[in-house]
Amino acid sequence: MPYASVRDLEMYYEEFGRGQALLFLHSHYSRGLLAFSGQILPFSKRYRCLFPDFRGHGRTRCEDLRWSSRRIADDMPLLLDALGIAQAHVVGYSCGAYVGCYLASKYPDRVKSLVTIGGAAYPHSEGCEDYLPEALLRHNDLDFIETARTRHLDAHRGDWQTYLTMTVEDWKNHPNLSEEEWKAIACPVLCVNGEHDPYGSCQELRQRLPEASVYQVKGGGHRPHFVGEQIDEVNARILDFLADVDRRSSKV
């Protein structure tokens, strides 16, 4: 299985396709391929697609179980270094959208373009404490606990309590970019949000990123790129955006 040595991590990732690198950044509670199963085939026809598991998630291994969106963003340039990649397009979903914003702000030379799906301009923490270990146990939500335990077993080695606590902590506090950090995002940006997304909107992101393109998915929720949602139109819109960025960059 593919692993890259990144700082204190053995970072698990999957790779499909050839061409310009395209880095996919997954959501809370998920891991690389699960968050983007509907993008593997259409995007790998045109791009070298990378699907890493974040620190604390999936099959990525680390002794330190602590993590945050900001810390994950600092891992990504090192993953690109390990794979010999100077610059990549970035697509981030939910928590991955926050990671993508931190990455594009702090490491602008590594990000050719940024697509956020289900992103936000500030934390939307309503309901997050229902996912703390004690709340899930109180409500006897054993299925959710078992999913978290098994999905991220390599990362937390069975300590699902710490995993869920860290996830809620991140959910409560991110994204929290400063005004200067938002202004430092200089690459082309496309923000995709469902019309009924409870965790963010095109409007709030446009206030922070006035030069960004925005696409509000009619009837969509938080994950319009999923199979069974508005996947075809979302995939087409993102592929068109990436192709346009590539065309414009080739003329420079």
Is residue 210 in some structural domain? yes
Number of domains into which the chain is organized: 1
Q: What is the pLDDT of residues 16-45, one digit of tens each?
A: 999 999 999 999 999 999 999 999 999 999
**244 contacts: CB under 8 Å, gap ≥ 6:** none
Which range of residues forms the domain containing residue 244? 3-126+176-250
Q: What is the pLDDT of residues 181-214, one digit of tens each?
A: 999 999 999 999 999 999 999 999 999 999 999 9
Instruction: Name the band, by pLDDT with cuts 50, 70 and 90, for residue 1.
Output: low
* CATH number of the domain to which 183 belongs: 3.40.50.1820
- Looking at residue 252, its pLDDT comes to 63
Hey, which bits of the chain come out as E strands? 3-6, 9-16, 21-25, 48-52, 88-93, 111-117, 189-194, 213-217
Residue 177 clears pLDDT 90, i.e. is over it? yes
Is residue 110 in some structural domain? yes
- Looking at residue 170, its pLDDT comes to 97
Pairwise CA distance, residues 82 & 98, whole Å: 23
- Looking at residue 250, its pLDDT comes to 79
Sheet holding 213-217, edge to edge: 3-6, 9-16, 48-52, 21-25, 88-93, 111-117, 189-194, 213-217
